[in-house]
Amino acid sequence: PSRADIHYFGAGPAALPTDVLEIAAQALLDFKGTGLGIAEHSHRSELATNIINEAKADLASYLDIPTSDYETIFMQAGGTGEFAASVYNLVGAWVARQHAAILQELGDGDEAAVVAALRKKVESDLKLDYIVTGGWSLKAYQEAVRLLGPEYVNLAADARTINDGKFGKIPDQSTWKLSKDAALVYYCDNETVDGVEFPEFPAILAPKADGSGPIVVADMSSNILSRRIPVSNYSLIFFGAQKNLGSTGVTVAILKKSFLPPTTVQPSAPLLRKLGLPIPPIILQYEIIAKNNSLYNTLSIFDVYIAGQVLKKLLRTYENKVDGQQAVAEKKANLIYSALEAHPDVYQIVPDKSVRSKMNICFRVTKNGNVDEAEKSFLKEATALNLTGLKGHRSVGGIRASNYNSIPLEGAEKLAKFIDDFAKA
Ligand code: PLP
């Protein structure tokens, strides 16, 4: 089949718009008549800086990021690297706050006394809260435990406890066991593997009227750019590019500026060593990356360029920016879920209705009491119609239709029709 025939529902890397790839392909050969491709130009060139700055500005415009309070950085860590980066940077910020308070109290005359007091504070009060609602937040929680040790990491909610050991629901916020003054409260806005999405910002984490409130970190790898988000409720939002933003290779962090110098300076390596806390690799330190406008080391400018072109296309397509895309995403998801709901004897949607993802639609297929055979034929027949990438994640099985921004309405319609035809056949 040719590219134009296929609708690819893979979970990531996702399909990219063909016109964006055509622009990128040309840029790879010869960027703007320079005789040199974009992947060959120096990341220190003015041209590279312009690509970064334009992508940042377009992202801010599309998502309404208040740029006076938030810095956007491009990294290469992947979502997985951000599991670690969020721990290092926000533990560092927590230590910096406690350090400042202790210096206020004790003065800076007796360094050993200050370190001893700080160490005591770390041992008694340092806590990171995790809301675990699926495979990815579970991985982030496990990484925090691995880096810091279990004594510092609080499993504030575990969705499996209310759903027979499986993911598919979000525990009521009133049951979340949040710590006092946690270094961060972490959640994953859209669980790519389990098809669970937070229907809205969790109210219990909202800032109070005076602006104080929990330090909220969200993984938005698989639903960024698909819905409006209240950016100012977060201290950190991160996402890999390879679903809704662009190609694999860049990761974005949107960080509250109050976590950067001059407000917050990360503790030094010797101090962390004395406190028994891990020392972050320099490449995961947000303040270093931010100070260098994402160019502390060699960044893939080609991948930033693709992300920038995707953002430009979104801004061209939707006058009302992310709200326009959100309406389309909801329409596409409704089409697919409605087709599934019309045949409850054949299709079993995995997550609870209240938390169904608009991006990753997870379901099982049963015919004549047989799941394996039915899913095999579902995938085979779908592929014959050029509806591809529908196999569920290897850890959970089943079918997963990833309904990212690059799937056109027509693709969702075609899939919905196939879902209906397959059930009737
Ligand atoms: N977080 C979410 C929600 C994801 O879907 C993924 C990957 O699919 C990751 C994190 C991990 O991203 P990466 O593979 O870039 O490390």
Asked whether 240 lines ligand 1 (CB < 6 A), one says: yes
Residue with the nearest Cα to atom 10 of ligand 1? 79
Residue with the nearest Cα to atom 5 of ligand 1? 192
Quick one: pLDDT at residue 236? 98
Please say whether the beta carbons of 245 and 239 come within 8 A: yes
Confidence (pTM)? 0.98
- 282 with 415, same domain: the answer is no
Please say whether the beta carbons of 315 and 116 come within 8 A: no
Asked whether 223 lines ligand 1 (CB < 6 A), one says: no
Task: Give how far Cα 14 sits from Cα of 8, 186, 274, 389, Å.
Answer: 8, 25, 44, 9
Asked whether 192 lines ligand 1 (CB < 6 A), one says: yes
Asked whether 133 lines ligand 1 (CB < 6 A), one says: no
- 247 with 105, same domain: the answer is yes
Asked whether 136 lines ligand 1 (CB < 6 A), one says: yes
- 211 with 348, same domain: the answer is no
Please say whether the beta carbons of 233 and 211 come within 8 A: no
Ligand 1 centroid to Cα of residue 140, in Å, is 10
| CB atoms inside a 10 Å sphere around CB 268 | 11
- 327 with 189, same domain: the answer is no
Residue-wise over 213-242: b if at least 16 C-beta within 10 A, else e? Answer: ebbbbbbbbbbbbbbebebebbbbbbbbbb
Across the chain, what does the average pLDDT equal?
97
Quick one: pLDDT at residue 211? 85
- CATH number, position 60: 3.40.640.10
> Is residue 71, in this structure, part of any structural domain at all?
yes
Asked whether 138 lines ligand 1 (CB < 6 A), one says: no
Reduced to 3 states (helix: H, G, I; strand: E, B; else coil), residue 367 is: strand
Q: Which of 259, 278, 304 is the last residue of a domain?
A: 304
> Is residue 9, in this structure, part of any structural domain at all?
no
Segment 108-166, tens digit of pLDDT: 999 999 999 999 999 999 999 999 999 999 999 999 999 999 999 999 999 999 999 99
- 232 with 364, same domain: the answer is no
Ligand 1 centroid to Cα of residue 333, in Å, is 21
> Is residue 44, in this structure, part of any structural domain at all?
no
Q: Which of 304, 329, 355 is the last residue of a domain?
A: 304
> Is residue 314, in this structure, part of any structural domain at all?
no
Q: Which of 304, 334, 352 is the last residue of a domain?
A: 304
- 282 with 373, same domain: the answer is no
Q: What's the mean pLDDT in 159-183?
A: 98
Number of domains in the chain: 2
> Is residue 25, in this structure, part of any structural domain at all?
no
Asked whether 300 lines ligand 1 (CB < 6 A), one says: no
The residue to which tokens 């810095």 are assigned: 71
- 261 with 386, same domain: the answer is no
Segment 59-103, tens digit of pLDDT: 999 999 999 999 999 999 999 999 999 999 999 999 999 999 999
The ipTM, to two decimals, is 0.99
Phi and psi, residue 236, nearest 5° = -150, 130
Q: What's the mean pLDDT in 373-394?
A: 97
- The Cα–Cα gap between 375 and 18 comes to 30
Asked whether 12 lines ligand 1 (CB < 6 A), one says: yes
- 257 with 333, same domain: the answer is no
Asked whether 406 lines ligand 1 (CB < 6 A), one says: no
Quick one: pLDDT at residue 306? 98
Quick one: pLDDT at residue 33? 96
Tell me: pLDDT of 379 over 90.
yes
Residue with the nearest Cα to atom 3 of ligand 1? 221
> Is residue 410, in this structure, part of any structural domain at all?
yes
Segment 27-56, tens digit of pLDDT: 999 999 999 999 999 999 999 999 999 999
Ligand 1 pocket: which of 221, 360, 396 to mutate (most atoms within 8 A of CB): 221
- 62 with 204, same domain: the answer is yes
Asked whether 221 lines ligand 1 (CB < 6 A), one says: yes
Ligand 1 centroid to Cα of residue 251, in Å, is 10
Ligand 1 pocket: which of 74, 136, 220, 224 to mutate (most atoms within 8 A of CB): 136
- 255 with 349, same domain: the answer is no
- 298 with 418, same domain: the answer is no
> Is residue 376, in this structure, part of any structural domain at all?
yes
- 277 with 325, same domain: the answer is no
Ligand 1 closest atom vs CA 82: 16
Asked whether 245 lines ligand 1 (CB < 6 A), one says: no
Give the domain range for residue 380: 321-424
Share above pLDDT 90 across residues of the chain, in percent, rounded to a whole number: 99
- CATH number, position 392: 3.90.1150.10
- The Cα–Cα gap between 422 and 346 comes to 9
Quick one: pLDDT at residue 76? 97
Ligand 1 pocket: which of 75, 192, 252 to mutate (most atoms within 8 A of CB): 192
Please say whether the beta carbons of 78 and 240 come within 8 A: yes
Ligand 1 centroid to Cα of residue 123, in Å, is 31
Q: Which residues pair with 262 in a beta bridge?
A: none
> Is residue 20, in this structure, part of any structural domain at all?
no
